[in-house]
Structure 1
Amino acid sequence: MIRELGANLCIMDIRPYFLHPEDHTHKIHVHLDPCHMLKLLRNVFSTIEVLVREDGQQIRYIEELHKLQKEGLRLGNKLKMAHIQWRNQKMKVNLAAQLFSSSVADALEDCEQELQ
């Protein structure tokens, strides 16, 4: 829809607005909903079990961190079963936001560096 209206969100040719159809002197700016974007990103993480970086290295996923923490290791984040089985609560933005919090990122980084 954004492209059809004349806006472009591609980094190489960004134009986050389109001209008003009846008054071309007015720009209409496009704003993505951050809450919706977080939930969409969470959906990608849940449907793809392994993400692959540009260098070809596989990135193991949030479930592995949750399993590790369930076995007794706590890494200072709020990751719970509700974050893994989110489909019953898919409208809760806080679950998606906590999934991408700095504490979860730090825990994943620690696992990569310390535990391989």
Structure 2
Amino acid sequence: MALAAQARKFGLGMIFATQAPKGIETKIVSNCTTHFYGRMSSPALIDATEEMMRARGKAAGDLGKLSAGLFYYATEAMSAPIKIRTPLCLSHHPQNPASPEDILALTKR
């Protein structure tokens, strides 16, 4: 917990990824200024995430139906989470890693 607070204090970023949002200590979540919420299938996880989103201004209602590349995004400067589409290079996981040539081609899109 101290690491998350110190990182924020000094402007450093940290990424916490989980399939169980209630499993992350509340004090850590409160030090995270940017949140991404993706598709979930468990009703209990959807309810927990909807509660977190409501605390940030608006619940989604469609977390169980989001397609690949769709996320809700929220920062401390926003009044409510918004839906965004990310490039598949951020959410698609092919069988083999991309080659250097593939990475360069993706960056030119």
Greater share of residues in helix: 1
Q: Which category of TM-score, normalised to the shorter sequence, fits these structures?
A: under 0.3
Larger RCO: 1 or 2 (CA < 8 Å, sep 6+): 2
What TM-score do the two structures reach when normalised by structure 2? 0.27
Greater share of residues in strand: 2
What TM-score do the two structures reach when normalised by structure 1? 0.26
